[in-house]
Structure 1
Amino acid sequence: MPDLMARPLIPGGSEGRGSCLEASMSDPRNPVIGILGTGDFSRSLAKRLMAAGYQVVVGSRTPKRFVALFPEEAEVTTQMEAASQADLVFVAVYPEHHSTLVSLKATLAGKTLVDVSNGLRLNRDGPSNAELLADYFPESIVVKGFNTISAWTLQMGPRDGNRQVFLCGNSQKAKDSVKQVCCRMGFIPVDMGLLSSSLEIENLPLYLFPSWRIPILCTLSLFAFFYIY
């Protein structure tokens, strides 16, 4: 079990409030938030970000297919256009599809990329998904985070232990900007240090729920079957 599991869920009581205050003071702007991806997580994230007062632009390879699935206030456009407009970008595509985004490398240079992906199985040796993303985009700043937050939590709002968002990255300035986003959405950012901690963060959901995977998959399959038929 990783050291992360031994740490308190709400560190130090006031640490979350302190992190939010520091983040808001370090970045008083209201950045445009980009989301690359159009799945359930992306849609829930867009709604939560807009509820927090952010302008949201969603990038898709086929924007016309998905525009009706997002709130009217969210702009659904091409990946290139979303990358151009956004100050901070959530990468919400499966890690095996990260390589399909390399055409955006120049456009995303100098911008913060938030990797929200998880693995399908425990990865003890690395590299992490976030580290691989950083290899694809060496001129961008990658922050790992939000992978322990479900689409359901984003939809319904944070509750108790679900309020924590574990973050890591090599740029403190980039992490502070992501912390501010966390706080405005009602979450508590927990800084786990450098990007080398991302493997530990990615493994956390699998440590917590290893025996739930088969029941969850069965439930989702049955739900999909009855929904379709």
Structure 2
Amino acid sequence: MRVLVVEDDAAIAGAVSAALTQAGHAVDSLARGRDAEHALRDHPYDLLLLDLGLPDSDGAGLLRRLRQRGDTVPVLVITARDALRERVETLDLGADDYLVKPFALAELTARVRALQRRRASQGAPELVIGRLHIDLAGRRASVDGIPLELTAREFGLVEALATRRDRVVSRAALIEALCSWDTTLTDNGLDISIHRLRRKLEGCGARVRTVRGLGYLLEAGDD
């Protein structure tokens, strides 16, 4: 999952970004609302962590503009503003969750998992393709109850493909989902990761199919 953290406190942004990276997500971080608006237009994020008190704008205004233009990216607000009126107004603007500073990183990552589960699997505890079971929140995969050993990048591929099931996912979209601004993935690196994932999925009733000229599709297969 690719996450954008918009927070002007460098210490908080660094701690949050590190925790989410440790959890296996690709994380970008910005301190200004204007930069965040450009990033959200240019990149397909799976989650936005948004501070309300930004140096150049109010985070609530950014949230309002996102929803007015039809952007449905899940938004977790992280802010020091703890008044009931502020929380209610922000949720009514379209925020999906609201976390008051200071907060424990364990609670933050738990809320991120809940938002991810709600968006990607429509409330279901896991996605099932063939005999492959994918726990998005726990970032685990299994076949017939036996854990499938995947690297962080391999799970990222499964996640990107499974949450877009029945749609062809382009190579560019896969690379976008797997990489933050300070990491890169070459075409050759993507090919290697897909090859390794295919080998691990053999015999589980799920396969990564190449749609020539378009991209890849994760689908149930006959094994």
Which TM-score applies when normalising by structure 1? Answer: 0.39
Which TM-score applies when normalising by structure 2? Answer: 0.40
Higher relative contact order (CA 8 A, sep 6+): 1
Higher-helix-fraction structure: 1
